[in-house]
């Protein structure tokens, strides 16, 4: 491998959704980017494994249908999205309580007002926040000057301790993958707005359909698999097999830790939030509707439980339901099974364990001061660029927006 052809002046390292989105934008503007991907498939942290009759995502993830960048580039109809019910059910330690979304399920208004989770004051505050945030653009949210940890922000907004602990902490802790809610309030506002304006959805064929759909927009030879990049220096990319490539511009679209090591800039790596995910099957589903169940009891390791096969039929090709249990820290299988018995009683004995995923590098930490949201420079050197969820927001949306921004900046430089 030597000099790339005349048109292929941009090389991208990494075929996660950031690298793929970057390549699509470059291609749409007349360039022919090439991606070097270390593994044998696209998707990075968004992968789905076939396991017997089930599709197992590597960690519970959802696409929020309100994501702007995703809506603009993904074909939601082709993804055949199945949605979870808005709101959640909350395990209180002794029973399940429902939190519905009266804006999208008006018939549930009275049930929601009477729900034991949160006082009337808490519910009015949620309504106010919803009104305030849905009037703002994402850019206005990102530009918020006073950043602070989410837990401090929620206290400032005046939510009761009970509501924070039984609903807001398990809900957002499960999204941020950290129960202490140290994550930036900008991220909270952004995610809150996305949940207010859309649904949490799963593609019928599993989350990996998202990067696969992006990859299908690129020519087959635009991605070189099993091609880990070892070193970047000036215009030279050195692959692990020793071969060299000399693009005009290089975009580092790897995960945060690999980006820090490839660029020689340790400050890029600000630490990770981890999660574990255990899959079980049972028949029938333990829930009546496709919903996300939160652990509002303050006890145990389980953060949330979802039944992907209730939301999107493709997750199970038999009558069996697929249960996804997300946990904080790595509890043993015996611990989780015993906790499931407190949630579901004797029905839990019928849950058959399938597989577990321990994901140590799930989400880049995003605390106040860590910034992101386009505030980090996307240029590391005269011909070296960087994108990924760690530059924007720790989400599919953030990764893709970051990829597009870098492509636009390169095109501006090249007059494309
Ligand atoms: C368990 C879990 C739950 C999540 N939940 C949600 C959710 O519900 N909603 C949401 O929006 N987001 C969620 N996310 C976050 C979302 O998946 C990520 O933000 C997004 O996928 C990151 O994409 P990326 O392209 O920036 O990075 P990555 O997906 O990490 O892609 C980087 C790519 O670079 C490749 N690479 C690394 N080093 C090299 C090298 N040296 N040479 C060549 N290639 C290299 C990797 O193999 C990989 O393919 C979740 C993530 C996890 C793990």
For residue 277, give the ligand 1 atom closest to its CA: 1
As a whole number of angstroms, the distance between CA 237 and CA 258 comes to 14
E-assigned strands of 257-381? Answer: 272-282, 292-295, 302-306, 321-327, 352-364, 379-381
Ligand 1 site, residue 395, Cβ cutoff 6 A = yes
Cα 63 to averaged position of ligand 1 atoms, centre (Å): 14
Per-residue pLDDT at 195: 94
CATH fold for the domain made of 49-203+272-364: Polyamine Oxidase; Chain A, domain 2 (3.90.660)
Q: For residue 6, what pLDDT is reported?
A: 45
- Shortest-distance Cα residue to atom 5 of ligand 1: 61
CATH 3.50.50.60 in the chain, residues? 10-47+208-269+368-414
3-state SS track over 14-55: CCCHHHHHHHHHHHHCCCCCEEECCCCCCCCCCCEEEECCEE
Q: Which residue has the tokens 């880990």?
A: 228
Q: Locate CATH 3.90.660.50 in the chain.
A: 49-203+272-364
Q: Measuring CA to CA, how many Å separate 202 from each of 7, 56, 65, 295, 370?
A: 37, 12, 10, 21, 29
DSSP H stretches of helix in 136-280:
138-142, 150-157, 161-163, 169-176, 185-197, 209-215, 256-263
Write down the pLDDT at residue 103.
67
Ligand 1 nearest-atom number relative to CA 396: 11
The answer, yes or no, to whether the previous bond of 184 is cis (omega within 30 of 0) is no
Mean pLDDT by 10 residues, the chain (416 residues): 56 98 97 97 98 98 97 98 93 90 60 69 90 94 93 96 93 96 96 95 98 97 97 94 95 98 95 97 95 94 97 96 92 95 96 97 93 83 96 96 96 90
Domain covering 10-47+208-269+368-414 in this structure, CATH number:
3.50.50.60
Which SS3 state, helix, strand or coil, does residue 403 take? helix
The closest of 409, 360, 370, 359 to 392, measured between CA atoms, is 370
Q: How far is the CA of 415 from the centre of ligand 1 (A)?
A: 30
């Amino acid at each position: 491998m030597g000099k790339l052809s005349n048109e292929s002046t941009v090389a991208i390292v990494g075929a996660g959704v950031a690298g793929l989105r970057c390549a699509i934008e470059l291609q749409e503007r007349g360039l022919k980017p090439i991606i070097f991907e270390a593994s044998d498939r696209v998707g990075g942290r968004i992968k789905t494994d076939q396991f017997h009759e089930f599709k197992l995502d590597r960690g519970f993830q959802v696409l929020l249908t309100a994501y702007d960048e995703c809506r603009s580039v993904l074909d939601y109809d082709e993804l055949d999205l199945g949605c979870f019910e808005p709101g959640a059910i909350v395990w209180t330690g002794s029973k399940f309580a429902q939190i519905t979304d009266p804006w999208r399920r008006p018939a549930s208004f009275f049930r929601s007002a009477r729900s034991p989770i949160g006082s009337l004051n808490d519910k009015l505050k949620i309504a106010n926040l919803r009104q305030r945030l849905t009037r703002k653009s994402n850019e206005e949210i990102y530009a918020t000057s006073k950043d602070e940890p989410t837990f401090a922000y929620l206290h400032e907004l005046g939510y009761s301790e009970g509501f924070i602990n039984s609903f807001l902490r398990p809900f957002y802790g499960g999204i941020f993958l950290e129960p202490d809610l140290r994550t930036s309030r900008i991220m909270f506002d952004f995610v809150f707005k996305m949940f207010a304006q859309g649904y949490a959805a799963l593609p019928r064929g599993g989350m990996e359909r998202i990067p696969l759909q992006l990859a299908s927009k690129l020519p087959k030879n635009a991605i070189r698999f099993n091609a880990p990049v070892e070193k970047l220096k000036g215009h030279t990319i050195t692959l692990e097999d020793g071969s060299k490539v000399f693009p005009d511009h290089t975009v580092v679209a790897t995960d945060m830790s690999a980006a820090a090591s490839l660029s020689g800039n340790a400050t890029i790596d600000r630490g990770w939030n981890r999660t574990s995910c255990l899959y079980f099957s049972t028949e029938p589903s333990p829930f009546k509707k496709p919903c996300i169940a939160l652990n509002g009891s303050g006890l145990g390791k389980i953060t949330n439980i979802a039944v992907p096969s209730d939301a999107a039929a493709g997750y199970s090709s038999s009558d069996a339901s697929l249960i996804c249990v997300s946990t904080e820290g790595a509890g043993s299988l015996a611990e989780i099974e015993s906790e499931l018995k407190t949630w579901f009683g004797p029905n839990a004995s019928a849950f058959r364990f399938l597989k577990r995923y321990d994901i140590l590098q799930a989400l880049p930490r995003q605390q106040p001061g860590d910034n992101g949201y386009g505030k980090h420079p996307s240029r590391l050197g005269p011909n070296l660029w960087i994108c990924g969820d760690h530059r924007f927001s720790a989400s599919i949306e953030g990764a893709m927006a970051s990829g597009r921004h870098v492509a636009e900046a390169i095109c501006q430089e090249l007059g494309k």
